[in-house]
Structure 1
Amino acid sequence: MRTVRSLGRSHAWELREAESPEWGRVFVKTDATSGSAAVFAAEAAGLRWLGEAGAVGVAEVLEVTGERLVVSWVEAGVASARTAEGFGRGLARLHAAGAEGFGAPWAGFIARIPMDNRPVGAWAEFYAVRRLAPFVRAARDAGRLSARDAGVLDRVAERLPAVAGPAEPPARIHGDLWSGNVMWVADGAVLVDPAAHGGHRETDLAMLALFGLPRLGAVLAAYQEETPLADGWRERVPLHQLHPLLVHVCLYGGSYRDSLLDAAARVLAL
Protein backbone atom coordinates (compact mmCIF):
# COMPACT_ATOMS: atom_id res chain seq x y z
CA MET A 1 0.00 0.00 0.00
CA ARG A 2 1.57 3.27 -1.15
CA THR A 3 1.18 6.43 0.92
CA VAL A 4 -0.11 9.35 -1.14
CA ARG A 5 0.11 11.92 1.64
CA SER A 6 0.19 12.24 5.39
CA LEU A 7 -2.92 13.68 7.00
CA GLY A 8 -1.22 14.29 10.34
CA ARG A 9 -1.98 12.70 13.68
CA SER A 10 -5.06 12.35 15.84
CA HIS A 11 -4.55 11.21 19.44
CA ALA A 12 -2.25 8.16 19.17
CA TRP A 13 -2.89 7.53 15.48
CA GLU A 14 -1.18 8.43 12.25
CA LEU A 15 -3.61 9.29 9.47
CA ARG A 16 -2.85 9.04 5.78
CA GLU A 17 -4.28 8.84 2.32
CA ALA A 18 -3.00 5.79 0.48
CA GLU A 19 -3.31 3.90 -2.78
CA SER A 20 -4.00 0.18 -2.63
CA PRO A 21 -3.77 -2.27 -5.56
CA GLU A 22 -6.88 -4.00 -4.22
CA TRP A 23 -9.09 -1.10 -3.10
CA GLY A 24 -7.77 1.97 -4.88
CA ARG A 25 -7.73 5.19 -2.90
CA VAL A 26 -8.20 4.60 0.84
CA PHE A 27 -7.99 6.27 4.25
CA VAL A 28 -5.64 4.58 6.73
CA LYS A 29 -5.42 5.00 10.49
CA THR A 30 -2.41 3.30 12.07
CA ASP A 31 -0.79 2.67 15.44
CA ALA A 32 2.51 0.84 15.11
CA THR A 33 2.43 -0.15 18.79
CA SER A 34 -0.73 -2.27 18.33
CA GLY A 35 -2.09 -0.44 21.36
CA SER A 36 -5.21 0.59 19.45
CA ALA A 37 -6.47 -2.84 18.45
CA ALA A 38 -9.63 -2.53 20.56
CA VAL A 39 -10.26 1.02 19.32
CA PHE A 40 -9.97 -0.03 15.68
CA ALA A 41 -12.22 -3.05 16.27
CA ALA A 42 -14.88 -0.84 17.89
CA GLU A 43 -14.74 1.71 15.09
CA ALA A 44 -15.03 -1.01 12.45
CA ALA A 45 -17.98 -2.63 14.25
CA GLY A 46 -19.73 0.73 14.50
CA LEU A 47 -19.20 1.60 10.84
CA ARG A 48 -20.53 -1.77 9.69
CA TRP A 49 -23.55 -1.52 11.98
CA LEU A 50 -24.41 1.97 10.79
CA GLY A 51 -23.92 0.90 7.18
CA GLU A 52 -26.28 -2.06 7.57
CA ALA A 53 -29.18 0.37 7.89
CA GLY A 54 -28.69 1.52 4.29
CA ALA A 55 -30.01 4.94 5.31
CA VAL A 56 -27.09 7.33 4.94
CA GLY A 57 -23.58 7.13 3.52
CA VAL A 58 -21.07 5.42 5.81
CA ALA A 59 -17.37 4.83 5.13
CA GLU A 60 -16.78 1.19 4.16
CA VAL A 61 -14.47 -0.90 6.31
CA LEU A 62 -11.89 -2.57 4.05
CA GLU A 63 -9.46 -3.96 6.63
CA VAL A 64 -9.06 -3.92 10.37
CA THR A 65 -6.06 -5.34 12.24
CA GLY A 66 -4.35 -4.67 15.54
CA GLU A 67 -2.17 -2.06 13.87
CA ARG A 68 -4.40 -0.36 11.33
CA LEU A 69 -7.88 0.43 10.10
CA VAL A 70 -8.46 0.93 6.38
CA VAL A 71 -11.69 2.47 5.11
CA SER A 72 -12.93 3.73 1.77
CA TRP A 73 -11.72 7.16 0.73
CA VAL A 74 -14.35 9.91 0.77
CA GLU A 75 -13.71 12.92 -1.43
CA ALA A 76 -15.52 15.51 0.62
CA GLY A 77 -17.19 18.57 -0.86
CA VAL A 78 -19.09 21.44 0.69
CA ALA A 79 -22.57 21.54 2.13
CA SER A 80 -25.37 22.78 -0.09
CA ALA A 81 -29.11 23.04 0.41
CA ARG A 82 -29.49 19.78 -1.52
CA THR A 83 -26.88 17.81 0.39
CA ALA A 84 -28.12 19.16 3.73
CA GLU A 85 -31.64 17.97 2.97
CA GLY A 86 -30.36 14.57 1.85
CA PHE A 87 -28.31 14.19 4.99
CA GLY A 88 -31.18 15.24 7.27
CA ARG A 89 -33.52 12.68 5.76
CA GLY A 90 -30.87 9.98 5.77
CA LEU A 91 -29.96 10.61 9.39
CA ALA A 92 -33.63 10.33 10.38
CA ARG A 93 -33.84 6.97 8.61
CA LEU A 94 -30.62 5.80 10.26
CA HIS A 95 -31.98 6.58 13.70
CA ALA A 96 -35.27 4.90 12.85
CA ALA A 97 -33.40 1.69 11.96
CA GLY A 98 -33.13 1.26 15.71
CA ALA A 99 -31.07 -0.91 18.04
CA GLU A 100 -31.73 -3.88 20.30
CA GLY A 101 -31.26 -1.72 23.37
CA PHE A 102 -29.39 1.24 24.78
CA GLY A 103 -25.75 0.26 24.35
CA ALA A 104 -23.97 -2.11 21.98
CA PRO A 105 -22.56 -5.64 21.91
CA TRP A 106 -19.00 -4.33 21.47
CA ALA A 107 -16.70 -2.43 23.81
CA GLY A 108 -16.93 1.24 22.96
CA PHE A 109 -14.47 4.10 22.64
CA ILE A 110 -14.83 7.80 22.01
CA ALA A 111 -11.55 9.22 20.77
CA ARG A 112 -9.04 7.19 22.83
CA ILE A 113 -11.25 6.89 25.93
CA PRO A 114 -13.04 3.59 26.72
CA MET A 115 -16.81 3.91 26.75
CA ASP A 116 -18.92 1.26 28.47
CA ASN A 117 -21.59 0.01 26.05
CA ARG A 118 -23.19 -2.60 28.29
CA PRO A 119 -26.96 -2.11 28.33
CA VAL A 120 -28.57 -0.91 31.52
CA GLY A 121 -32.20 0.11 31.94
CA ALA A 122 -33.99 2.84 30.04
CA TRP A 123 -32.17 5.72 28.33
CA ALA A 124 -32.07 8.03 31.36
CA GLU A 125 -30.36 5.35 33.43
CA PHE A 126 -28.04 4.40 30.59
CA TYR A 127 -26.99 8.02 30.09
CA ALA A 128 -26.45 8.59 33.80
CA VAL A 129 -24.59 5.35 34.52
CA ARG A 130 -22.69 4.72 31.27
CA ARG A 131 -22.11 8.20 29.85
CA LEU A 132 -22.05 10.75 32.68
CA ALA A 133 -20.80 9.03 35.85
CA PRO A 134 -17.60 7.43 34.44
CA PHE A 135 -16.49 10.63 32.74
CA VAL A 136 -17.28 12.82 35.75
CA ARG A 137 -15.20 10.44 37.87
CA ALA A 138 -12.33 10.46 35.37
CA ALA A 139 -12.33 14.25 35.09
CA ARG A 140 -12.39 14.68 38.87
CA ASP A 141 -9.62 12.10 39.39
CA ALA A 142 -7.49 13.98 36.84
CA GLY A 143 -8.05 17.26 38.67
CA ARG A 144 -10.03 18.75 35.78
CA LEU A 145 -13.27 19.03 37.75
CA SER A 146 -13.55 20.01 41.40
CA ALA A 147 -15.68 18.19 43.95
CA ARG A 148 -18.22 21.00 43.64
CA ASP A 149 -18.26 20.66 39.84
CA ALA A 150 -18.80 16.91 40.14
CA GLY A 151 -21.65 17.55 42.57
CA VAL A 152 -23.43 19.69 39.96
CA LEU A 153 -23.19 16.84 37.44
CA ASP A 154 -24.41 14.37 40.06
CA ARG A 155 -27.52 16.51 40.56
CA VAL A 156 -28.11 16.47 36.82
CA ALA A 157 -27.90 12.67 36.81
CA GLU A 158 -30.46 12.50 39.61
CA ARG A 159 -32.84 14.69 37.63
CA LEU A 160 -32.48 12.77 34.36
CA PRO A 161 -35.76 10.82 34.58
CA ALA A 162 -37.64 14.11 34.99
CA VAL A 163 -35.91 16.03 32.18
CA ALA A 164 -35.22 13.34 29.57
CA GLY A 165 -38.48 13.96 27.70
CA PRO A 166 -40.92 11.39 26.34
CA ALA A 167 -39.68 7.80 26.23
CA GLU A 168 -38.30 6.76 22.85
CA PRO A 169 -37.06 3.42 21.53
CA PRO A 170 -33.30 2.98 21.12
CA ALA A 171 -32.06 4.74 17.99
CA ARG A 172 -29.13 3.65 15.84
CA ILE A 173 -26.82 6.60 16.50
CA HIS A 174 -23.36 7.62 15.37
CA GLY A 175 -22.44 8.71 18.89
CA ASP A 176 -19.69 11.21 18.01
CA LEU A 177 -21.43 13.23 15.33
CA TRP A 178 -19.52 16.49 15.32
CA SER A 179 -19.10 18.33 12.04
CA GLY A 180 -15.67 16.81 11.34
CA ASN A 181 -17.22 13.35 11.12
CA VAL A 182 -19.71 14.43 8.43
CA MET A 183 -18.18 14.31 4.93
CA TRP A 184 -20.32 16.12 2.38
CA VAL A 185 -20.85 14.34 -0.94
CA ALA A 186 -23.07 14.83 -3.99
CA ASP A 187 -26.30 13.43 -2.55
CA GLY A 188 -25.88 14.04 1.17
CA ALA A 189 -23.09 13.00 3.48
CA VAL A 190 -20.86 10.08 4.46
CA LEU A 191 -20.28 9.38 8.14
CA VAL A 192 -16.87 8.48 9.54
CA ASP A 193 -15.22 7.76 12.90
CA PRO A 194 -18.26 6.77 14.98
CA ALA A 195 -18.76 5.83 18.61
CA ALA A 196 -21.87 3.99 17.49
CA HIS A 197 -24.42 2.44 19.85
CA GLY A 198 -28.09 2.27 20.60
CA GLY A 199 -28.88 5.64 22.09
CA HIS A 200 -31.21 8.62 21.97
CA ARG A 201 -31.57 10.25 18.57
CA GLU A 202 -31.45 13.72 20.11
CA THR A 203 -27.84 12.97 21.14
CA ASP A 204 -26.62 12.98 17.54
CA LEU A 205 -28.53 16.18 16.77
CA ALA A 206 -27.15 17.94 19.85
CA MET A 207 -23.62 16.93 18.85
CA LEU A 208 -24.14 18.42 15.38
CA ALA A 209 -25.03 21.71 17.05
CA LEU A 210 -22.16 21.68 19.54
CA PHE A 211 -19.39 22.49 17.06
CA GLY A 212 -21.42 24.07 14.29
CA LEU A 213 -22.42 21.87 11.36
CA PRO A 214 -22.82 23.89 8.12
CA ARG A 215 -26.46 24.30 7.07
CA LEU A 216 -27.67 22.73 10.30
CA GLY A 217 -31.04 24.44 9.98
CA ALA A 218 -31.68 22.74 6.64
CA VAL A 219 -30.55 19.39 8.05
CA LEU A 220 -32.94 19.69 11.00
CA ALA A 221 -35.85 20.81 8.83
CA ALA A 222 -35.44 17.77 6.58
CA TYR A 223 -35.05 15.50 9.61
CA GLN A 224 -38.27 16.87 11.09
CA GLU A 225 -40.16 16.24 7.86
CA GLU A 226 -38.91 12.66 7.76
CA THR A 227 -39.37 11.81 11.47
CA PRO A 228 -40.66 14.61 13.73
CA LEU A 229 -38.89 15.13 17.03
CA ALA A 230 -40.69 15.12 20.37
CA ASP A 231 -41.89 18.40 21.85
CA GLY A 232 -39.21 20.16 23.88
CA TRP A 233 -36.27 18.71 22.01
CA ARG A 234 -34.58 22.10 21.61
CA GLU A 235 -34.65 22.67 25.36
CA ARG A 236 -33.00 19.26 25.86
CA VAL A 237 -30.00 20.04 23.63
CA PRO A 238 -27.77 20.98 26.63
CA LEU A 239 -28.63 17.66 28.29
CA HIS A 240 -27.37 15.70 25.30
CA GLN A 241 -24.27 17.89 25.02
CA LEU A 242 -23.12 17.04 28.54
CA HIS A 243 -21.40 13.81 27.53
CA PRO A 244 -19.35 15.22 24.63
CA LEU A 245 -18.39 18.19 26.78
CA LEU A 246 -17.27 15.81 29.53
CA VAL A 247 -15.20 13.91 26.98
CA HIS A 248 -13.50 17.16 25.99
CA VAL A 249 -12.81 18.03 29.62
CA CYS A 250 -11.19 14.60 30.06
CA LEU A 251 -9.13 14.96 26.88
CA TYR A 252 -8.19 18.63 26.86
CA GLY A 253 -8.74 19.96 30.35
CA GLY A 254 -10.31 23.00 31.86
CA SER A 255 -10.93 25.00 28.70
CA TYR A 256 -14.22 23.11 28.29
CA ARG A 257 -15.19 23.24 31.97
CA ASP A 258 -17.21 26.46 31.73
CA SER A 259 -19.21 25.19 28.75
CA LEU A 260 -19.91 21.96 30.63
CA LEU A 261 -21.12 23.70 33.77
CA ASP A 262 -23.22 26.14 31.73
CA ALA A 263 -24.94 23.21 30.00
CA ALA A 264 -25.49 21.53 33.37
CA ALA A 265 -27.06 24.70 34.78
CA ARG A 266 -29.46 24.89 31.86
CA VAL A 267 -30.47 21.25 32.41
CA LEU A 268 -31.09 21.87 36.11
CA ALA A 269 -33.31 24.81 35.17
CA LEU A 270 -35.62 22.68 33.00
Structure 2
Amino acid sequence: MMQRLAQRLAELDDAFRGSLTPLSGGDSGAGVWRLEAATPLIVKCDQPERLAGEADGLAALATTDTLVVPRVVALAGDLLVMEALDAGGPRDGARLGEGLRQLHAVTRDPVAEHGWGRDNACGLTPQPNAMLADGRAFQRERRLLPLVRACCDRGLLDAPLAARIERVAATLESWLADQPPSLVHGDLWSGNVLFTPRGPAIIDPAVYRHYPDVDVAMLSLFGDPGAAFHEAYWDGRRPADWSRREALFQLYPLLNHLYLFGAGYRGGVSRAVDRVLAA
Protein backbone atom coordinates (compact mmCIF):
# COMPACT_ATOMS: atom_id res chain seq x y z
CA MET A 1 0.00 0.00 0.00
CA MET A 2 2.80 2.44 0.83
CA GLN A 3 4.34 1.88 -2.60
CA ARG A 4 1.05 2.77 -4.30
CA LEU A 5 0.64 5.78 -2.04
CA ALA A 6 4.18 6.96 -2.79
CA GLN A 7 3.47 6.69 -6.50
CA ARG A 8 0.23 8.67 -6.19
CA LEU A 9 1.96 11.40 -4.21
CA ALA A 10 4.79 11.69 -6.74
CA GLU A 11 2.22 11.98 -9.54
CA LEU A 12 0.36 14.66 -7.57
CA ASP A 13 3.46 16.83 -7.08
CA ASP A 14 7.12 16.13 -7.68
CA ALA A 15 7.85 17.79 -4.32
CA PHE A 16 6.00 14.90 -2.64
CA ARG A 17 8.70 12.35 -3.41
CA GLY A 18 10.24 10.82 -0.30
CA SER A 19 10.01 8.05 2.28
CA LEU A 20 6.76 7.30 4.11
CA THR A 21 6.42 6.24 7.73
CA PRO A 22 3.00 5.09 9.00
CA LEU A 23 1.60 6.91 12.04
CA SER A 24 -1.38 6.29 14.27
CA GLY A 25 -4.62 7.67 12.83
CA GLY A 26 -6.19 8.16 16.26
CA ASP A 27 -9.95 7.69 16.51
CA SER A 28 -10.75 8.97 13.03
CA GLY A 29 -9.95 5.74 11.22
CA ALA A 30 -7.83 7.61 8.67
CA GLY A 31 -4.54 6.27 7.38
CA VAL A 32 -1.79 8.69 8.39
CA TRP A 33 1.83 8.83 7.23
CA ARG A 34 4.80 11.13 7.71
CA LEU A 35 6.44 11.95 4.39
CA GLU A 36 10.14 12.80 4.56
CA ALA A 37 10.40 14.92 1.45
CA ALA A 38 12.19 18.21 0.79
CA THR A 39 9.86 19.56 3.48
CA PRO A 40 8.46 17.07 6.03
CA LEU A 41 4.74 16.52 5.49
CA ILE A 42 1.81 14.61 6.95
CA VAL A 43 -0.37 12.62 4.55
CA LYS A 44 -3.88 11.43 5.39
CA CYS A 45 -5.96 8.99 3.39
CA ASP A 46 -9.69 8.94 4.16
CA GLN A 47 -13.13 9.55 2.69
CA PRO A 48 -13.00 12.68 0.50
CA GLU A 49 -15.83 14.43 2.33
CA ARG A 50 -14.15 13.90 5.70
CA LEU A 51 -10.83 15.24 4.47
CA ALA A 52 -12.52 18.22 2.82
CA GLY A 53 -14.15 19.02 6.16
CA GLU A 54 -10.82 18.81 7.97
CA ALA A 55 -9.06 21.00 5.41
CA ASP A 56 -11.87 23.55 5.66
CA GLY A 57 -11.52 23.59 9.46
CA LEU A 58 -7.74 23.97 9.37
CA ALA A 59 -8.08 26.90 6.98
CA ALA A 60 -10.65 28.59 9.24
CA LEU A 61 -8.47 28.18 12.33
CA ALA A 62 -5.37 29.41 10.52
CA THR A 63 -7.05 32.68 9.56
CA THR A 64 -7.36 33.62 13.25
CA ASP A 65 -3.56 33.79 13.67
CA THR A 66 -3.87 32.75 17.33
CA LEU A 67 -2.42 29.24 17.71
CA VAL A 68 -0.16 27.23 15.41
CA VAL A 69 -2.19 25.31 12.80
CA PRO A 70 -0.68 22.95 10.22
CA ARG A 71 -0.78 24.43 6.73
CA VAL A 72 -2.79 22.50 4.14
CA VAL A 73 -0.46 21.78 1.21
CA ALA A 74 -2.78 19.76 -1.03
CA LEU A 75 -6.24 18.20 -1.03
CA ALA A 76 -6.90 15.65 -3.75
CA GLY A 77 -9.94 13.44 -3.22
CA ASP A 78 -9.03 10.88 -0.58
CA LEU A 79 -5.61 12.44 0.11
CA LEU A 80 -4.83 15.39 2.36
CA VAL A 81 -1.24 16.65 2.55
CA MET A 82 -0.30 18.97 5.41
CA GLU A 83 2.71 20.61 6.96
CA ALA A 84 4.36 18.34 9.56
CA LEU A 85 4.69 19.92 13.00
CA ASP A 86 7.42 18.99 15.45
CA ALA A 87 6.27 18.36 19.01
CA GLY A 88 9.52 19.36 20.71
CA GLY A 89 8.44 22.66 22.24
CA PRO A 90 7.90 23.56 25.91
CA ARG A 91 4.58 22.58 27.48
CA ASP A 92 3.33 26.15 27.80
CA GLY A 93 -0.17 25.97 29.29
CA ALA A 94 -0.40 29.74 29.69
CA ARG A 95 0.33 30.33 26.02
CA LEU A 96 -2.23 27.69 25.06
CA GLY A 97 -4.84 29.33 27.27
CA GLU A 98 -4.13 32.81 25.92
CA GLY A 99 -4.21 31.58 22.32
CA LEU A 100 -7.48 29.71 22.80
CA ARG A 101 -9.07 32.74 24.46
CA GLN A 102 -8.07 34.86 21.46
CA LEU A 103 -9.38 32.20 19.08
CA HIS A 104 -12.73 32.18 20.84
CA ALA A 105 -12.90 35.96 20.58
CA VAL A 106 -13.31 35.52 16.81
CA THR A 107 -17.03 36.14 16.34
CA ARG A 108 -18.87 37.59 13.38
CA ASP A 109 -21.56 39.81 14.88
CA PRO A 110 -24.30 39.53 17.52
CA VAL A 111 -26.74 37.89 15.08
CA ALA A 112 -24.37 35.26 13.68
CA GLU A 113 -25.81 31.76 13.80
CA HIS A 114 -24.49 28.71 15.59
CA GLY A 115 -23.19 25.99 13.29
CA TRP A 116 -21.10 25.88 10.15
CA GLY A 117 -21.55 26.09 6.40
CA ARG A 118 -20.91 22.36 5.97
CA ASP A 119 -21.19 19.18 7.99
CA ASN A 120 -17.98 17.52 9.13
CA ALA A 121 -17.04 14.73 11.54
CA CYS A 122 -16.01 14.32 15.18
CA GLY A 123 -13.81 11.25 15.12
CA LEU A 124 -15.72 8.70 13.06
CA THR A 125 -19.10 10.26 13.83
CA PRO A 126 -20.76 12.51 11.23
CA GLN A 127 -21.33 15.93 12.78
CA PRO A 128 -24.39 17.91 11.59
CA ASN A 129 -23.76 21.64 11.52
CA ALA A 130 -26.87 23.14 9.91
CA MET A 131 -27.08 26.60 11.43
CA LEU A 132 -29.55 27.80 14.05
CA ALA A 133 -29.90 31.28 15.52
CA ASP A 134 -30.19 30.11 19.14
CA GLY A 135 -27.25 28.29 20.72
CA ARG A 136 -29.47 26.33 23.10
CA ALA A 137 -31.48 24.98 20.17
CA PHE A 138 -28.26 24.10 18.33
CA GLN A 139 -26.89 22.19 21.32
CA ARG A 140 -30.19 20.32 21.64
CA GLU A 141 -31.00 19.63 17.97
CA ARG A 142 -27.55 19.24 16.42
CA ARG A 143 -25.56 17.73 19.27
CA LEU A 144 -27.39 16.02 22.15
CA LEU A 145 -30.56 14.57 20.65
CA PRO A 146 -29.01 13.05 17.48
CA LEU A 147 -26.50 11.13 19.60
CA VAL A 148 -29.13 10.09 22.13
CA ARG A 149 -31.11 8.55 19.27
CA ALA A 150 -28.01 6.93 17.77
CA CYS A 151 -26.96 5.43 21.12
CA CYS A 152 -30.48 4.17 21.79
CA ASP A 153 -30.53 2.51 18.37
CA ARG A 154 -27.39 0.60 19.35
CA GLY A 155 -28.82 -0.38 22.73
CA LEU A 156 -26.23 1.71 24.58
CA LEU A 157 -28.69 3.92 26.50
CA ASP A 158 -31.58 2.64 28.61
CA ALA A 159 -34.86 4.54 28.61
CA PRO A 160 -34.39 6.27 32.01
CA LEU A 161 -30.96 7.68 31.16
CA ALA A 162 -32.10 8.73 27.69
CA ALA A 163 -35.06 10.53 29.27
CA ARG A 164 -32.77 12.37 31.68
CA ILE A 165 -30.57 13.59 28.81
CA GLU A 166 -33.68 14.68 26.93
CA ARG A 167 -34.70 16.61 30.05
CA VAL A 168 -31.32 18.36 30.05
CA ALA A 169 -31.80 19.24 26.39
CA ALA A 170 -35.36 20.48 26.89
CA THR A 171 -34.53 22.81 29.76
CA LEU A 172 -31.44 24.60 28.45
CA GLU A 173 -33.32 27.86 27.96
CA SER A 174 -34.16 27.92 31.68
CA TRP A 175 -30.55 28.49 32.76
CA LEU A 176 -28.11 28.83 29.84
CA ALA A 177 -28.00 32.32 28.35
CA ASP A 178 -27.79 32.59 24.58
CA GLN A 179 -24.73 34.40 23.24
CA PRO A 180 -23.01 35.15 19.93
CA PRO A 181 -21.16 32.06 18.71
CA SER A 182 -17.38 31.73 18.73
CA LEU A 183 -15.25 29.80 16.32
CA VAL A 184 -14.42 26.50 18.09
CA HIS A 185 -12.00 23.70 17.28
CA GLY A 186 -14.76 21.21 18.07
CA ASP A 187 -12.68 18.17 19.10
CA LEU A 188 -10.06 19.67 21.39
CA TRP A 189 -8.94 16.73 23.50
CA SER A 190 -5.33 16.64 24.67
CA GLY A 191 -4.24 14.44 21.75
CA ASN A 192 -5.16 17.24 19.34
CA VAL A 193 -2.80 19.71 21.06
CA LEU A 194 0.90 19.76 20.21
CA PHE A 195 3.53 21.88 21.93
CA THR A 196 5.84 22.84 19.10
CA PRO A 197 8.97 25.05 19.06
CA ARG A 198 6.73 27.71 17.43
CA GLY A 199 4.18 27.50 20.26
CA PRO A 200 1.07 25.44 21.05
CA ALA A 201 -0.57 23.92 17.98
CA ILE A 202 -4.02 22.45 17.37
CA ILE A 203 -4.72 19.68 14.85
CA ASP A 204 -7.57 17.44 13.60
CA PRO A 205 -10.40 19.97 13.99
CA ALA A 206 -14.14 19.53 13.68
CA VAL A 207 -14.89 23.26 13.54
CA TYR A 208 -18.14 25.15 13.87
CA ARG A 209 -19.40 28.26 15.68
CA HIS A 210 -20.94 27.73 19.11
CA TYR A 211 -20.33 28.36 22.81
CA PRO A 212 -16.57 28.51 23.49
CA ASP A 213 -17.22 26.21 26.46
CA VAL A 214 -17.08 23.35 23.93
CA ASP A 215 -13.29 23.43 23.71
CA VAL A 216 -12.51 24.13 27.36
CA ALA A 217 -14.84 21.36 28.56
CA MET A 218 -13.31 18.90 26.11
CA LEU A 219 -9.76 19.73 27.21
CA SER A 220 -10.74 18.92 30.79
CA LEU A 221 -12.69 15.74 30.03
CA PHE A 222 -9.88 13.18 30.01
CA GLY A 223 -7.30 15.15 31.98
CA ASP A 224 -6.56 18.73 32.92
CA PRO A 225 -4.58 21.29 30.91
CA GLY A 226 -3.28 22.76 34.18
CA ALA A 227 -3.64 25.83 36.35
CA ALA A 228 -1.58 28.06 34.04
CA PHE A 229 -3.93 27.27 31.15
CA HIS A 230 -7.05 28.04 33.17
CA GLU A 231 -5.62 31.26 34.60
CA ALA A 232 -4.65 32.53 31.14
CA TYR A 233 -7.84 31.40 29.44
CA TRP A 234 -10.34 32.74 31.97
CA ASP A 235 -8.35 35.90 32.79
CA GLY A 236 -10.48 36.40 35.90
CA ARG A 237 -13.78 35.88 34.05
CA ARG A 238 -14.61 32.24 34.76
CA PRO A 239 -18.43 31.91 34.96
CA ALA A 240 -19.89 31.28 38.41
CA ASP A 241 -21.81 28.29 37.02
CA TRP A 242 -18.82 26.81 35.19
CA SER A 243 -19.19 23.37 36.81
CA ARG A 244 -22.68 23.04 35.34
CA ARG A 245 -21.65 24.43 31.95
CA GLU A 246 -18.63 22.14 31.83
CA ALA A 247 -20.80 19.10 32.52
CA LEU A 248 -23.26 20.12 29.80
CA PHE A 249 -20.61 20.57 27.15
CA GLN A 250 -18.93 17.31 28.13
CA LEU A 251 -22.12 15.42 27.40
CA TYR A 252 -21.72 15.53 23.62
CA PRO A 253 -18.18 14.06 23.53
CA LEU A 254 -19.15 11.52 26.19
CA LEU A 255 -22.16 10.43 24.13
CA ASN A 256 -19.91 10.26 21.09
CA HIS A 257 -17.47 8.02 22.96
CA LEU A 258 -20.37 5.87 24.12
CA TYR A 259 -21.57 5.58 20.53
CA LEU A 260 -18.13 4.74 19.15
CA PHE A 261 -16.55 2.67 21.91
CA GLY A 262 -19.38 1.15 23.88
CA ALA A 263 -20.92 0.82 27.31
CA GLY A 264 -17.77 1.70 29.26
CA TYR A 265 -18.68 5.37 28.79
CA ARG A 266 -22.25 5.07 30.09
CA GLY A 267 -21.20 5.91 33.64
CA GLY A 268 -19.48 9.10 32.49
CA VAL A 269 -22.62 10.14 30.62
CA SER A 270 -24.74 9.52 33.71
CA ARG A 271 -22.41 11.49 35.98
CA ALA A 272 -22.38 14.46 33.61
CA VAL A 273 -26.20 14.44 33.55
CA ASP A 274 -26.23 14.34 37.36
CA ARG A 275 -23.98 17.44 37.49
CA VAL A 276 -26.23 19.39 35.12
CA LEU A 277 -29.51 18.47 36.80
CA ALA A 278 -28.22 18.87 40.37
CA ALA A 279 -27.22 22.51 39.90
Fold match by TM threshold 0.5: yes
CA distance in 1, matches of 2:161, 2:266: 9
Aligned to 1:14: 31
Equivalent residues in 2 for 1:1-270, closer than 5 Å? 1-10=17-26, 11-21=28-38, 24-31=39-46, 36-77=47-88, 79-80=90-91, 83-99=92-108, 100-164=112-176, 166-186=177-197, 188-214=199-225, 216-225=226-235, 228-270=237-279
CA distance in 2, matches of 1:154, 1:2: 52
CA distance in 2, matches of 1:186, 1:168: 35
Structure 1: unaligned runs, 5 residues or longer = none
- RCO (CA 8 Å, sep 6+): is it higher in 1 or 2? 1
CA distance in 1, matches of 2:199, 2:249: 24
Displacement of 1:187 after TM fit?
5.0
CA distance in 2, matches of 1:228, 1:201: 13
Specify whether residues 98 and 229 from structure 1 end up closer, same or farther in structure 2 by C-alpha distance, changes over 3 A only.
farther
Displacement of 1:79 after TM fit?
4.8
CA distance in 2, matches of 1:236, 1:104: 22
Specify whether residues 78 and 96 from structure 1 end up closer, same or farther in structure 2 by C-alpha distance, changes over 3 A only.
same
Number of aligned residue pairs: 259
CA distance in 2, matches of 1:5, 1:263: 40
Displacement of 1:186 after TM fit?
3.1
Q: Is the Cα contact below 8 Å between 1:97 and 1:172 reproduced in 2?
A: yes
Q: Is the Cα contact below 8 Å between 1:77 and 1:184 reproduced in 2?
A: yes
Q: Is the Cα contact below 8 Å between 2:54 and 2:205 reproduced in 1?
A: yes
Residues 15-68 of structure 1, C-alpha deviations (whole Å, 9 max, x = no match) = 1111234xx10111113xxxx111101111011011111111111111122211
Per the alignment, in what secondary structure is the counterpart of residue 129 of structure 2?
A: coil
Per the alignment, in what secondary structure is the counterpart of residue 210 of structure 1?
A: coil
CA distance in 2, matches of 1:78, 1:256: 33
Aligned to 2:9: none
Q: Is the Cα contact below 8 Å between 1:156 and 1:268 reproduced in 2?
A: yes
Per the alignment, in what secondary structure is the counterpart of residue 17 of structure 1?
A: strand
CA distance in 2, matches of 1:197, 1:179: 19
Identity among equivalent positions (%) equals: 34
Q: Which segment is superposed worse, 180-189 or 111-120?
A: 180-189
Which residue identity does 1:149 align to in structure 2?
L
Which residue identity does 1:18 align to in structure 2?
L
Q: Is the Cα contact below 8 Å between 1:182 and 1:190 reproduced in 2?
A: yes
- Structure 1 runs of 4+ with >4 Å offset: none
CA distance in 2, matches of 1:29, 1:177: 19
| TM, length-normalised to structure 1 | 0.90
Q: Which segment is superposed worse, 166-175 or 130-139?
A: 166-175
Which residue identity does 2:265 align to in structure 1?
Y
Q: Is the Cα contact below 8 Å between 1:3 and 1:16 reproduced in 2?
A: no
Q: Is the Cα contact below 8 Å between 2:42 and 2:81 reproduced in 1?
A: yes
Per the alignment, in what secondary structure is the counterpart of residue 247 of structure 2?
A: helix
| TM, length-normalised to structure 2 | 0.88
CA distance in 1, matches of 2:20, 2:151: 39
RMSD, aligned α-carbons:
1.7
Residues 96-117 of structure 1, C-alpha deviations (whole Å, 9 max, x = no match) = 0125421000112111211110
